Amino acid sequence: MSKPAPYAQRRPRVLITGFGPFPGIAENASAVLADWLTQDARKRHPNFDVVGATLPTEWRRGLEMLRELWQSALPDAALHFGVSSDVDGFAVEQFAYNCCADDRDARGDFPPSREHRRGGPGRCTTSLPVDNIVRDLRAAGIPAELSIDAGRYLCNAVFYESVACAMQVAIPTRAGFIHIPSTLALLPFERTSGAQASGPTTGPHAAGHFDWNTARAGARIILDTAIAALPDPS
């Protein structure tokens, strides 16, 4: 991939994605959270270009769209959100694997190959500051954990592809994946003011409760911690 402009002559860029529906998940909370965070980040970080997208949960088109986003945006940081029925808070993923589960996607299709990238490394490591992210989330009373298993479905596929894309660009880039509870979609989403979204560090957060207010507050922390770890372009 080529650089569209010299790094020092453009504003830093952030890519934020969630997923559309897939079998068993009629409404994907990650798309809602990613869209909210994109809009919120544009207001809170006016010196950044923020690109948001909902990726189709499809083996072919989902990864094609991700690569297109990388080529057009060339982000300094890429944050990808997905849902899991096995988590009750933020699961900050550390590793992506060059392996696909033989499961149908939203179109009913199976993966074209058991490997994402033929001959690619068996495992890629996130370049997000995951320890700092979990630390900052927990400091705010928000449930969070490090995870070493992103599954082998589209979440892992997008994670692997994004880290691989990040390794190919000529600027320091951070990419990673965060799972949120799939049950979040069952709760009503109410847009809150900035003060409410930032959330108190006591009350529901401290009790380990994970609702939309907690999700929004946590998403802000994840983004801010990732941005803080970016190198100074000057």
Percent of the chain surpassing pLDDT 70: 88
SS3 content of the chain, % helix, strand, coil (to 5): 35, 20, 45
- Domain at 12-228, CATH homologous superfamily: Peptidase C15, pyroglutamyl peptidase I-like (3.40.630.20)
Q: What is the pLDDT of residues 137-174, one digit of tens each?
A: 999 999 999 999 999 999 999 999 999 999 988 777 89
Catalytic residues, by residue number, are 93, 155, 179
Q: What is the pLDDT of residues 181-223, one digit of tens each?
A: 999 998 888 765 444 454 443 444 444 579 999 999 999 999 9
Q: What is the C-alpha separation between 18 and 23, in angstroms, rounded?
A: 16
Selection from 226, 224, 227, 192 nearest residue 211 by Cα: 192
Q: What is the C-alpha separation between 157 and 9, in angstroms, rounded?
A: 32
